[in-house]
Homo-oligomer: A and B are copies of this chain.
Amino acid sequence: MGRGILSLKLIPNLKSRRTTFLKRKKSLMKKAYELSTLCDVQTCVFIASDCDPAAQFETWPPNRDQIHAMIRSYKSHSFLKQSRNSSYDLNRFLSDRRNKIVTDTAKLRHNVDKFKDHNLDSLSEHQLKDFLATLDTKIGVVDDMIQFMEADYDYLIEEVIGTPSFCPSETEESCEYNVEDFQSLLEDEFLGALVQNHPFNFDSELIA
Protein backbone atom coordinates (compact mmCIF):
# COMPACT_ATOMS: atom_id res chain seq x y z
CA MET A 1 0.00 0.00 0.00
CA GLY A 2 1.00 3.56 -0.24
CA ARG A 3 4.04 3.96 -2.37
CA GLY A 4 5.16 0.34 -2.18
CA ILE A 5 3.09 -2.80 -2.13
CA LEU A 6 3.29 -4.58 1.15
CA SER A 7 2.66 -8.26 1.59
CA LEU A 8 0.48 -9.14 4.54
CA LYS A 9 3.18 -10.61 6.69
CA LEU A 10 5.08 -9.39 9.67
CA ILE A 11 7.22 -6.42 8.66
CA PRO A 12 10.75 -7.69 9.25
CA ASN A 13 12.43 -4.32 9.76
CA LEU A 14 11.80 -3.13 13.29
CA LYS A 15 11.87 0.55 12.46
CA SER A 16 9.40 0.23 9.60
CA ARG A 17 7.23 -1.99 11.73
CA ARG A 18 7.05 0.56 14.48
CA THR A 19 6.32 3.40 12.07
CA THR A 20 3.62 1.42 10.33
CA PHE A 21 2.17 0.41 13.65
CA LEU A 22 1.83 4.00 14.84
CA LYS A 23 0.27 5.19 11.61
CA ARG A 24 -2.14 2.33 11.32
CA LYS A 25 -3.12 2.42 14.96
CA LYS A 26 -4.08 6.05 14.61
CA SER A 27 -6.12 5.34 11.50
CA LEU A 28 -7.86 2.36 13.04
CA MET A 29 -8.95 4.45 16.00
CA LYS A 30 -10.12 7.20 13.72
CA LYS A 31 -12.12 4.72 11.66
CA ALA A 32 -13.67 3.27 14.79
CA TYR A 33 -14.69 6.76 15.86
CA GLU A 34 -16.13 7.51 12.43
CA LEU A 35 -18.06 4.27 12.27
CA SER A 36 -19.66 4.78 15.64
CA THR A 37 -20.49 8.42 14.90
CA LEU A 38 -21.80 7.99 11.38
CA CYS A 39 -23.81 4.87 12.05
CA ASP A 40 -24.50 5.07 15.78
CA VAL A 41 -23.23 1.62 16.55
CA GLN A 42 -21.31 0.48 19.60
CA THR A 43 -17.76 0.03 18.40
CA CYS A 44 -14.80 -0.86 20.50
CA VAL A 45 -11.14 -1.32 19.68
CA PHE A 46 -8.23 -2.32 21.88
CA ILE A 47 -4.70 -2.43 20.75
CA ALA A 48 -1.98 -3.80 22.98
CA SER A 49 0.76 -1.32 22.25
CA ASP A 50 3.84 -3.22 23.34
CA CYS A 51 5.84 -0.35 21.90
CA ASP A 52 4.63 2.00 24.56
CA PRO A 53 5.14 0.55 28.04
CA ALA A 54 3.30 3.44 29.73
CA ALA A 55 0.06 2.98 27.84
CA GLN A 56 -0.01 -0.80 27.44
CA PHE A 57 -3.48 -0.65 25.92
CA GLU A 58 -4.96 1.94 23.72
CA THR A 59 -8.65 1.82 23.24
CA TRP A 60 -11.46 3.39 21.43
CA PRO A 61 -13.50 4.74 23.06
CA PRO A 62 -10.80 5.95 25.45
CA ASN A 63 -13.20 6.11 28.39
CA ARG A 64 -12.78 3.05 30.56
CA ASP A 65 -16.40 2.82 31.64
CA GLN A 66 -17.55 2.73 28.07
CA ILE A 67 -15.09 -0.03 27.31
CA HIS A 68 -16.32 -1.97 30.32
CA ALA A 69 -19.89 -1.52 29.20
CA MET A 70 -18.98 -2.87 25.76
CA ILE A 71 -17.18 -5.82 27.28
CA ARG A 72 -20.14 -6.63 29.49
CA SER A 73 -22.48 -6.37 26.58
CA TYR A 74 -20.26 -8.59 24.47
CA LYS A 75 -19.86 -11.11 27.26
CA SER A 76 -23.52 -11.39 28.00
CA HIS A 77 -24.29 -12.07 24.36
CA SER A 78 -21.38 -14.39 23.89
CA PHE A 79 -22.17 -16.24 27.08
CA LEU A 80 -25.81 -16.78 26.29
CA LYS A 81 -24.97 -17.87 22.76
CA GLN A 82 -22.55 -20.40 24.16
CA SER A 83 -25.09 -21.59 26.74
CA ARG A 84 -27.57 -22.41 24.06
CA ASN A 85 -25.05 -24.49 22.14
CA SER A 86 -23.16 -26.15 24.91
CA SER A 87 -24.53 -29.35 26.38
CA TYR A 88 -23.31 -28.51 29.87
CA ASP A 89 -24.14 -24.90 30.32
CA LEU A 90 -24.40 -22.54 33.23
CA ASN A 91 -28.11 -23.27 33.70
CA ARG A 92 -27.34 -26.93 34.17
CA PHE A 93 -24.36 -26.19 36.40
CA LEU A 94 -26.37 -23.91 38.66
CA SER A 95 -29.38 -26.14 38.86
CA ASP A 96 -27.31 -29.24 39.69
CA ARG A 97 -25.66 -27.37 42.50
CA ARG A 98 -28.91 -25.92 43.65
CA ASN A 99 -30.47 -29.36 43.82
CA LYS A 100 -27.63 -30.54 46.02
CA ILE A 101 -28.13 -27.61 48.38
CA VAL A 102 -31.87 -28.23 48.50
CA THR A 103 -31.40 -31.94 49.28
CA ASP A 104 -28.88 -31.25 52.00
CA THR A 105 -31.02 -28.57 53.52
CA ALA A 106 -33.98 -30.97 53.64
CA LYS A 107 -31.81 -33.51 55.46
CA LEU A 108 -30.80 -30.83 57.94
CA ARG A 109 -34.38 -29.76 58.58
CA HIS A 110 -35.37 -33.37 59.16
CA ASN A 111 -32.62 -33.78 61.74
CA VAL A 112 -33.43 -30.51 63.42
CA ASP A 113 -37.07 -31.55 63.71
CA LYS A 114 -36.06 -34.85 65.25
CA PHE A 115 -33.81 -33.02 67.68
CA LYS A 116 -36.60 -30.67 68.76
CA ASP A 117 -38.58 -33.63 70.10
CA HIS A 118 -35.87 -34.45 72.61
CA ASN A 119 -35.96 -33.11 76.13
CA LEU A 120 -33.29 -30.52 76.81
CA ASP A 121 -34.01 -30.32 80.55
CA SER A 122 -31.08 -32.50 81.47
CA LEU A 123 -28.67 -29.86 80.18
CA SER A 124 -27.83 -27.30 82.83
CA GLU A 125 -28.95 -23.81 81.98
CA HIS A 126 -25.35 -22.63 82.04
CA GLN A 127 -24.21 -25.39 79.69
CA LEU A 128 -27.00 -24.72 77.28
CA LYS A 129 -26.38 -21.00 77.32
CA ASP A 130 -22.68 -21.43 76.77
CA PHE A 131 -23.21 -23.92 74.04
CA LEU A 132 -25.64 -21.67 72.26
CA ALA A 133 -23.24 -18.77 72.60
CA THR A 134 -20.58 -20.82 70.91
CA LEU A 135 -23.01 -21.79 68.22
CA ASP A 136 -23.96 -18.17 67.76
CA THR A 137 -20.39 -17.17 67.27
CA LYS A 138 -19.96 -20.04 64.90
CA ILE A 139 -23.02 -19.09 62.94
CA GLY A 140 -21.86 -15.50 63.02
CA VAL A 141 -18.58 -16.45 61.41
CA VAL A 142 -20.34 -18.51 58.81
CA ASP A 143 -22.71 -15.64 58.12
CA ASP A 144 -19.81 -13.26 57.82
CA MET A 145 -18.14 -15.59 55.41
CA ILE A 146 -21.28 -15.92 53.41
CA GLN A 147 -21.77 -12.15 53.36
CA PHE A 148 -18.14 -11.73 52.49
CA MET A 149 -18.53 -14.08 49.57
CA GLU A 150 -21.85 -12.64 48.50
CA ALA A 151 -20.42 -9.14 48.38
CA ASP A 152 -17.58 -10.37 46.27
CA TYR A 153 -19.97 -12.34 44.15
CA ASP A 154 -21.83 -9.19 43.43
CA TYR A 155 -18.58 -7.56 42.55
CA LEU A 156 -17.45 -10.42 40.34
CA ILE A 157 -20.83 -10.86 38.74
CA GLU A 158 -20.88 -7.14 38.01
CA GLU A 159 -17.48 -7.51 36.37
CA VAL A 160 -18.62 -10.45 34.31
CA ILE A 161 -22.11 -9.45 33.32
CA GLY A 162 -22.51 -5.83 34.22
CA THR A 163 -25.45 -3.67 35.08
CA PRO A 164 -28.77 -4.21 33.39
CA SER A 165 -29.02 -0.53 32.54
CA PHE A 166 -26.56 -0.93 29.74
CA CYS A 167 -28.69 -3.12 27.52
CA PRO A 168 -30.78 -0.70 25.47
CA SER A 169 -34.40 -1.67 25.31
CA GLU A 170 -34.62 -1.11 21.57
CA THR A 171 -32.76 -4.33 20.89
CA GLU A 172 -34.86 -6.43 23.23
CA GLU A 173 -37.10 -7.65 20.49
CA SER A 174 -34.37 -9.26 18.49
CA CYS A 175 -32.47 -10.54 21.51
CA GLU A 176 -33.68 -13.87 22.81
CA TYR A 177 -32.20 -13.24 26.23
CA ASN A 178 -30.95 -9.99 27.62
CA VAL A 179 -28.71 -9.03 30.48
CA GLU A 180 -31.61 -8.67 32.86
CA ASP A 181 -32.81 -12.19 32.17
CA PHE A 182 -29.36 -13.48 32.78
CA GLN A 183 -28.98 -11.62 36.03
CA SER A 184 -32.33 -12.90 37.20
CA LEU A 185 -31.25 -16.38 36.27
CA LEU A 186 -28.16 -16.09 38.39
CA GLU A 187 -30.00 -14.49 41.25
CA ASP A 188 -32.85 -16.96 41.20
CA GLU A 189 -30.85 -20.09 40.75
CA PHE A 190 -27.88 -19.24 42.76
CA LEU A 191 -27.89 -16.33 45.14
CA GLY A 192 -31.54 -17.09 45.72
CA ALA A 193 -30.67 -20.57 46.93
CA LEU A 194 -28.08 -19.12 49.25
CA VAL A 195 -30.18 -16.36 50.69
CA GLN A 196 -32.95 -18.83 51.26
CA ASN A 197 -30.68 -21.23 53.07
CA HIS A 198 -28.13 -19.26 54.93
CA PRO A 199 -30.06 -17.57 57.77
CA PHE A 200 -30.41 -20.87 59.54
CA ASN A 201 -31.76 -19.43 62.78
CA PHE A 202 -30.23 -22.45 64.34
CA ASP A 203 -30.59 -21.19 67.89
CA SER A 204 -34.26 -20.30 67.65
CA GLU A 205 -35.04 -23.66 66.09
CA LEU A 206 -33.11 -25.31 68.86
CA ILE A 207 -34.89 -23.47 71.62
CA ALA A 208 -38.40 -23.48 70.18
Q: Are B35 and A144 in contact (CB under 8 A)?
A: no
Contact of A175 with B122 in the complex, beta carbons under 8 Å = no
Chain A positions 53-82 with a Cβ under 8 Å from a chain B Cβ: 53, 56-57, 59, 64, 67, 70-71, 73-75, 77-78, 81-82
Query: Within the oligomer, what is the number of copies of this chain?
Result: 2
From residue A198, how far is it (CB to closest CB) to chain B in Å?
7
Q: Nearest chain-B residue to A149 (Cβ)? A: B149
Look across to chain B and name the residue whose beta carbon is closest to the beta carbon of A31.
B28
A130 in contact with B118 (CB, 8 Å): yes
Instruction: Check if B137 sits within 8 Å of A107, measured CB to CB.
Output: yes
- Cβ contact within 8 Å between B32 and A45: yes
A95 contacts B by Cβ under 8 Å: no
Report whether over half of chain A's contact residues are helix, strand or loop; otherwise say mixed: helix
Contact A31 B27 (CB under 8 A): yes
Interface residue tally for chain A (C-beta within 8 Å): 95
Most buried by B among A20, A138, A198: A138
B residues near A35, Cβ cutoff 8 Å: 21, 24-25, 28, 47
* Contacting pair A45 B48 (CB below 8 A): no
Contacts of A100 in B (CB 8 A): 144, 148
Chain B residues with CB under 8 A of A115: 130-131, 134
When the two chains form the complex, which single residue of B42, B46, B127, B153 contacts A118, counting CB atoms closer than 8 Å? B127
